[in-house]
Structure 1
Amino acid sequence: MRIDNLLEFGRFLLRRFLADRGPQSAAALTYTTLFAVVPMMTVTFAMLSVVPAFQGVGEQIQLFIFRNFIPSTGATIQEYLVAFSVQARQLTWFGVGLLMATALMMLLTIEKAFNTIWRVRQPRRGISSFMLYWAILSLGPLLLGAAFATSTYLASLTLLSGPYAIIGASTLLKVMPLLLSVAAFTLIYAAVPNTRVPLKHALAGGLFAAALLEAAKELFGLYVSYFPSYQLIYGAFATVPFFLLWIYLSWIIVLFGAELVCGLSSSTQWRRRSLPRLVLLLVLLRILHQRQQHGRELDLRGLRRAGWPLPSDEWDELIGFLEAEQLVTRTGGGGWVLCRDLAHYPMQQLMQSNPWPIRHPAALAGGLDEPWYLPLCEALQQLQAEQARLFDGSLADWLQGDVTKNVSS
């Protein structure tokens, strides 16, 4: 990929990130994380305590995370969180249920933010949603404990850490936190959105987010070390706002990584200048009308097989408009069919109600092999000529009322 394509792709991702309200979603996730971090730690300790081999692993994992994934300002926060977690483990079953509900709220907020990025119209419901969250809260800590116990065992081997260690083994142990971070982000990007995400794209997003988070951690630590003036302002309370700022930056990185994964998964349509949405809308209606005559439904995959490789976000916008106009409805198989007789739907209504009007016939330049294309171009040219005639004259003439001859004729 050339440099200009990379820059264009980066601008595309930034526009999507802002359009998807990424900073606002990161702020909401920061607020939710503030309340959910202790419940998540409590659930992790509870699940690890079930397995006798993982006794004491929870504290080691906690120390490992704070040492490798959180800047130096997290030391004081760690003490508070550990104290809160120890107290939380003494709660009754009702209190534990409230903690679980708080942790679930965080997972729901994450899934909602990801579904917004992937333009998912229907979030998980019922048993599928429950099973996903239960797997994260139950199997997640166990898998983390198993991975940590394995890495600890490998680190104790003389072949890896002794004086006769294999060349490169020490480097591998040093990058272990980065590898675990890549694996965690890859799993999040692949499993959380309620849509199919190619594993290679999730892995690319995981590498990007992990590397960017590591760089942000180093820069954040340098700022705290060389610019300690914030302590003069906040005093002993200084750790709290910086910890919240770090959580916010972390979520910004995670959500932007999700935009990267989604952008990679939506083919290379970002490279081309898309046709006007109204043209794509008419193409979609024509294909839906043809399918209706054969009793067949249409989905995005079928549209792409028909020669229109439409990005998923444009497909969602067009289908959303047609659904709001009560022109299409979803079938049980997940596709879409017309639910209204187009013979009783005026073209004028479509031109007025669609949010993507064509301001100038030049936007249709280039030609298109569609039966309605040339009549549409001619109608728009006549409309522009008539509009130019009706609104002829200077603004001063209009304000003085000297343009009635143009309107009356």
Structure 2
Amino acid sequence: MSKSESALHYLRYLQQRFSEDGCLQRASALTYTTLFAVVPMMTVTYSMLSAIPSFNGVGEQIQAFVFQNFVPSAGATVEEYLQGFSRQARQLTAVGIAILVVTAYMMLRSIESALNAIWRVEHGRRGLAGFLLYWAILSLGPLLLGLGFVLTSYVASFKLFNDTTEMLGLGSWLFRVLPFLMSVAAFCLIYMAVPNRKVLFRHALLGGVVVSLLLELAKAMFALFISLSPSYQLIYGAFAAVPLFLLWIYLGWVIVLFGAEMVRSLGDLQAIMIRHPLPNTLQALLVLEAFDDSFAKGESMSRESYQQRRPISMEQWECCCRALAHEGLLREDQEGAWALSRNLATVEFWPLIRALPWGMPPVESLKAIREPLPDWLIRLLEQLQQFDSSGREQFSMPLSILFGTGLAAEPEQS
């Protein structure tokens, strides 16, 4: 395929996965959850920062920074509402604070569930691992943000720093780039830490850059839409900022979930670009051969090591391994790694093929395969072609003859 065809093929794949995973519906659910959790998250952030005397007032700085740089035009009005809500929330009793923390926890749980669904993870983090992840976000996240703001203000207070940036003309440029860099770092961390899968740093970083660029573009388009559509102000009046804020949250989640689909696909890029992937039955046989070969050499087998042999997507790898595990040929340990669990000398080919959920693929579909195949699989495919042709000759009869309920059809008169 040419580069343009490859790009179109990849974009079609992303669009298909985005639709299959129901990302628009998930974005709606996350918008609803965010609406309830934004005040608890702000309250927890203020509480964490106010516990350290050096961070007094930093919470308000972070909030103003976020609304000025990440929320278009309607952010000022919404910020005033949320500040009032948060001030009232900080006067709650211990029971009320506990309810707010639980609400913030449920939002993080919803985000993890949405990303795990994109990565096809059946079970999220449980027990201590899940608790530590959420606690790190709720506690260390605000503290790291506060530390970043304090250090930035401290460095900016140096006369040498100010004189140097002004002389080079970098002062305004640095403060314009800083929000973008913070956005990239935040999304990179989300894509690496939240899914219960191993995500490479370079994939998460690329996803963070793309999502941050899309959010900047969306912010500009959103502000333009608001300026060209004054009917919102006429209809909703002072309440107009609220539906606009909800619309922006929804658009933001759509972009974030699209970025998650992209990051997930980068790990399967080689397999995605194959127009005619191997059918599951043949791929399962090749996976089983790889496990048998690795077992004979005393080595472990993973999807990453298998991909050095031939491309395979994460979904097909999991599908093949689970089907072989159902037949007692593979087993999965507590860490999610697969290993051979049976001597293949005791396993016959045809009963295994009949037991697998996919059966043998049609011979016509095998002609489109362009991958280099091992000799034993080529011989198997040749035998299947002979079996298919002899079967067609032996069983070419109308069903009425087979059932004994009628005669063969008369030849049509010309």
User: Shorter chain as normaliser: what TM range?
Assistant: 0.7 to 0.9
SS of corresponding position for 2:198: coil
Deviations 1:303-352 (A, max 9, x none): 345x2342323212222333455543213564323556775777366347
Whether the 8 Å contact between 1:158 and 1:164 is mirrored in structure 2 is: no
Structure 2 CA distance, aligned partners of 1:251 and 1:357? 41
**Counterpart selection for 1:316 from 315, 318, 323:** 318
Which one of the candidate residues 346, 361, 371 is aligned to 1:358? 361
Of stretches 49-58 and 174-183 in structure 1, the one that deviates more from structure 2 is 174-183
Alignment of 1:213-362 (within 5 A): 213-273=215-275, 274-289=277-292, 298-304=301-307, 307-325=309-327, 327-332=329-334, 334-339=336-341, 343=346, 347=350, 350-351=353-354, 353-355=356-358, 358-362=361-365
Shift of residue 297, structure 1, vs aligned partner: 5.6
Partner of 2:136: 135
Aligned partners of 1:159 and 1:165 also within 8 Å: no
Does the CA-based 8 Å contact 1:361-1:381 persist in structure 2? no
Unaligned runs of 5+ in 1: none
Query: 1:402–1:327: structure 2 CA closer, same or farther, 3 Å change rule?
Result: farther
Which amino acid is 1:239 matched to? A
C-alpha contact 1:205 1:258 (8 A) present in aligned 2: yes
Q: CA 1:332/1:135 → structure 2, altered by over 3 Å: closer, same or farther?
A: closer
Q: Tell me the TM-score normalized by structure 2.
A: 0.85
More deviation, 324-333/9-18: 324-333
- Note closer, same or farther for the CA distance 1:164–1:301 as it changes in structure 2 (3 Å cut): closer
Tell me which moved more, 41-50 or 71-80.
Answer: 71-80
Single out whichever of 53-62 and 321-330 deviates more from structure 2.
321-330
Q: Could you say if the C-alpha distance between residues 220 and 324 of structure 1 is closer, same or farther in structure 2, counting changes exceeding 3 Å? A: farther
SS in 1 for 2:331: strand
Please state if 1:30 is matched with 2:24.
Answer: no
Change (3 A) 1:86 1:276: same
> 1:23 touches 1:252 (CA, 8 Å); kept in 2?
yes
Residue 376 of structure 2: which of 363, 371, 377 is its match?
Answer: 371
> Does the Cα contact within 8 Å between 1:288 and 1:337 map onto a contact in 2?
yes
2-side partners of 1:81 and 1:255: how far apart?
25
Match of 2:126 in 1: 125
Is residue 2:55 matched to residue 1:50? no
Moved more, 124-133 or 358-367: 358-367
Deviation at 1:64, TM superposition (A): 1.2
SS at the partner of 2:362?
coil
* Cα deviation, residue 209, structure 1: 0.7
Kindly tell me: are residues 142 and 348 of structure 1, through their superposed partners in 2, closer, same or farther at Cα, counting changes over 3 Å?
same
Percent sequence identity over aligned pairs: 44
Measure, in 1, the Cα distance between the counterparts of 2:380 and 2:82. Answer: 68
Instruction: Say whether 1:382 aligns with 2:387.
Output: yes
- The match for 1:16 is 17
Q: Which stretches in structure 2 are left out of the alignment for 5+ residues? A: none
Q: In the aligned structure 1, how far is the partner of 2:183 from the partner of 2:177? A: 10
Counterpart in 1 of 2:193? 191
CA contact (8 A) 1:71 1:220 kept: yes
| Alignment partner, residue 74 of structure 2 | 73
In the alignment, is the contact (CA less than 8 A) between 2:327 and 2:355 conserved in 1? no
Superposed CA offset, 1:40-62 (max 9, x none): 10110000001111101111111
TM-score, normalising length: structure 1: 0.85
Inter-CA distance 296–68: structure 2 relative to 1 (3 Å threshold): closer
SS at match of 2:168: coil
Moved more, 67-76 or 224-233: 224-233
> Does structure 2 retain, via aligned residues, the 8 Å contact 1:39–1:100?
yes
Q: Distance in 2 between matches of 1:200 and 1:344?
A: 42
Distance across 2 between alignment mates of 1:148 and 1:388: 78
| Deviation readout 1:12-48 (Å, 9 max, x if unpaired) | 2222222222222222211211111111101100000
Match for 1:8: what amino acid? H
Q: Distance in 1 between matches of 2:68 and 2:359?
A: 51
Deviations 1:191-235 (A, max 9, x none): 222222222222111111111101101100110111122344444
Once structures 1 and 2 are overlaid, which stretch shifts more, 18-27 or 162-171? 162-171
1:87-128 alpha-carbon deviations (Å, 9 max, x no partner): 111112222111111111111121222222223344222222
Q: Report the number of matched residues.
A: 401
Pairwise CA RMSD of aligned residues?
3.2
Structure 1 residue 260 displacement after superposition? 1.9
> Taking structure 1 as reference, are residues 351 and 170 closer, same or farther at Cα in structure 2, changes over 3 Å only?
same
SS of 1:329's equivalent?
strand
Q: 2-side partners of 1:239 and 1:325: how far apart?
A: 58
Is the contact between residue 72 and residue 223 of structure 2 (CA under 8 Å) also seen in structure 1? yes
Instruction: Output one character per residue of 1:269-320: Cα deviation in whole Å (capped at 9) or x when no partner.
Output: 3222322222101212333455667887643244345x23423232122223
